Amino acid sequence: MHLRELLVHLAIAAVCDASSRYVKLPVVHSINRKVFGDVWDKRAMTTVPLANRSDVAYYAKLDIGTPPQQVYLQLDTGSFELWVNPECARLQDSSDVWFCQAAGYYNVTSSSTATTLAGNKTLQYGVGSASIQYVQDDIGLSDTDTSLKGVQFGVALDTVDEWSGILGIGYGENVNTPYKNFIDQLADQGVTDTKAFSLALGSKAEEEGIVIFGGIDTGKFTGTLQTLPVIPAEDLPDQVPRYWVNMSSLSLTPPSGNTKVYQNTTMAVFLDSGTTLTLLPTDLANTIAADFGAEAADSHGVYSVDCSRKDLPGTLDFGFEGVTIRVPCKELVRELQTVSPPQCFLGISPNDDYALLGDTMLRSAYVVFDQTNNAIHLAQYVNCNKNEMEITDQTNMSSITGDCDAPDFNTANTTSGTSPTTTATTDGGNGGAAETDASNASAAPLIRSSSHTWLGYWTALLFVTIWVGAFA
């Protein structure tokens, strides 16, 4: 290609890229020391019971007000309102103050574009609550040229067990809120063409991922995106529109390779990035935990497992129509090294009220949340490169295939980043592995934990179960 032709192609590419209607934000895990510094060294010293802590989560950064005030907000697909802290001094525990200060806060009186609105509200969460005053201000998406004008959100007047703000990205105007929420504003102000966004949390080792509002990255998954309809609100447990889909199966592929299929696992599940643990019916959770060598859950609903389990190959396989998401054992087992000897936990908790797929599962999935079409588009997360594209109202999501090859799940230390971590199957949910019915056979025995002390006390240094209840 001649130089002139090359320059023309580059110019066209630049124009096309500039006209693309999508915007991306890094999603950072709260244990990422590059962002949150030594907060976790300090938090490890706290003596407050931690079973209900909600600061172990994934955060995105926004620039709020004029001049911009940088705030990290918990990215939550389980709620639909945005709120921020006005300051940190009123928090009771010093470790909470440290985290609040690291995440940032917003002072309405310091912004020349802020308007205080009439009305306030109490947002109730499964863990904690926030009483808020509504305001309106400009919001920039950090490290981009994108700015939203006159966005309505809440400023906390009081909080319980909540010490950082939340960016709720569920259904908004005329569905769950009487005003345009963050996702609505992105579409309404022309930043995105549709009310759809893709989420790749990244592996545990990566400690960060990406959310693309109005776009996808085919360098972050393998296989073809499979479309699942969102279950209508009238068929949901609380009849509140959220990202519920049908799961068809759940199985375990241990190091032996002999897949164990769990019984009675066809159920509705809720995809919630604001929850760290994956919540499953008690009998099912107990059975899975036993296959990981755990005994009964403690009083906080947490299972202790032997730390050597995180170094073994094997996957827990979540089956949906057309795709199976295989979650490596190392993504399900979390090690806490701030106690001696180190303690490890299983990222699953028993719950008979609803089934919820939290971060311990979603880290292994590439998910497109599509409000425009009331659908979830799902594939296996793999991070092999970057290849972003816009989602338009003409995009056929079910025809989009990821760029990444499938890794070898028999290698325990396969990592994501520049190389793939996981694979997808599109054969209905079994990944080609030999199957064994759980009713008459068991998976190969896994290593049984020999230590359970200190478990409940330190639980939420690593996990949060933040189910968003019905809003007032």
Phi and psi at residue 303, to the nearest 5°: -105, 130
Which residues make beta-bridge pairs with 280? Answer: 350
Whole-number Å distance between alpha carbons of 402 and 388: 11
Whole-number Å distance between alpha carbons of 14 and 25: 20
The residue among 61, 54, 51 whose CA lies nearest residue 24 is 61
Identify the burial level of 196 via C-beta atoms within 10 angstroms of its C-beta, where 0-12 means exposed, 13-18 middle and 19 or more buried.
Answer: buried
359 Cβ contact partners less than 8 Å away, ≥ 6 residues apart: 57, 58, 201, 273, 275, 276, 277, 347
How far is CA 269 from its chain centroid?
A: 14
Q: What is the DSSP string of 151-182?
A: EEEEEEEEEES--S-EEE-S--BTTTBSS--H
Q: Which amino acid is at 21?
A: R
The residue among 254, 246, 210 whose CA lies nearest residue 230 is 246
Active site residue 138: no
Name the catalytic one among 76, 138, 193, 306: 76
Whole-number Å distance between alpha carbons of 396 and 391: 9
Helix (H, G, I), strand (E, B) or coil at 14: helix
Which tokens in the block code for residue 185? 């504003």
190: left (phi over 0), alpha (psi -120 to 50) or beta: left
Half-sphere exposure for 21 (CA within 13 Å, toward CB): 15
The CB density around residue 346, as the number of other CB atoms within 10 Å, is 27
Half-sphere exposure for 402 (CA within 13 Å, toward CB): 32
The residue among 110, 23, 12 whose CA lies nearest residue 68 is 110
Whole-number Å distance between alpha carbons of 369 and 10: 32
The CB density around residue 205, as the number of other CB atoms within 10 Å, is 13
Name the catalytic one among 63, 137, 193, 272: 272
**Contact yes or no for 133/118 (Cβ under 8 A):** no
Whole-number Å distance between alpha carbons of 463 and 431: 29
**Contact yes or no for 230/51 (Cβ under 8 A):** no
* CA 192 vs CA 20, 187, 378: distances in Å: 8, 5, 20
Active site residue 93: no
Residues belonging to the active site = 76, 272
